[in-house]
Amino acid sequence: VAQEAAKAALSDCRARGYQVAVTVVDRFAVPQVMLRDRFAGGHTPPTATGKAWTAVSFRSATSELATAVQAPAMQGLRHLPNVVLIGGGVTIDAGGTMVGGIGVSGAPGGDADEACAKAGIAAIKDKLDF
């Protein structure tokens, strides 16, 4: 299922004209699958992994966290190891429980990365519903 989500996210980004990397992690933020499109930049695999790890670790989309760290009390999150505060990391939820996360990197902007990540989740939705 993780591989199917990653392939769907990669395919969605390709259809939009973006070369990206996609990482799917389990609920403990351990990578299960990582795919990189042929011309995606060298920085995209670790960034996609960091986005997925961050989303799962903080149980929140990285786009929401990027906004939250603007508050003075939250700015310390920016300096934690492995935290990537750019849109494109989304949790994967099933039956009211977080079961994993997906991170996409390489599209022109975090919002485009996030759209591809959500397409990956949508592709496996029927397999997640209990």
Is the model's pLDDT at 130 over the cut of 80? no
Q: Are 34 and 49 in contact (CB under 8 A)?
A: yes
Q: How far apart are the C-alpha atoms of 83 and 47, rounded to whole Å?
A: 9
Mean of the pLDDT values across residues 123-127? 95
Token digits of residue 22 = 């996609």
What are the pLDDT digits (tens) for 35-90? 999 999 999 999 999 999 999 999 999 999 999 999 999 999 999 999 999 999 99
Instruction: Fill in the DSSP letter of residue 66.
Output: H
Q: What angle do CA 105, 89, 20 make, to 5 degrees?
A: 20
What are the pLDDT digits (tens) for 10-32? 999 999 999 999 999 999 999 99
Per 3-state DSSP, the chain is made up of helix, strand and coil in percentages (nearest 5) of 50, 20, 30
pTM score of the predicted model = 0.96
Q: How far apart are the C-alpha atoms of 116 and 90, rounded to whole Å?
A: 10
Could you give the percent of the chain with pLDDT greater than 90?
95
What are the pLDDT digits (tens) for 30-44? 999 999 999 999 999
Helical axes 110-128 vs 2-15, angle rounded to 10°:
140
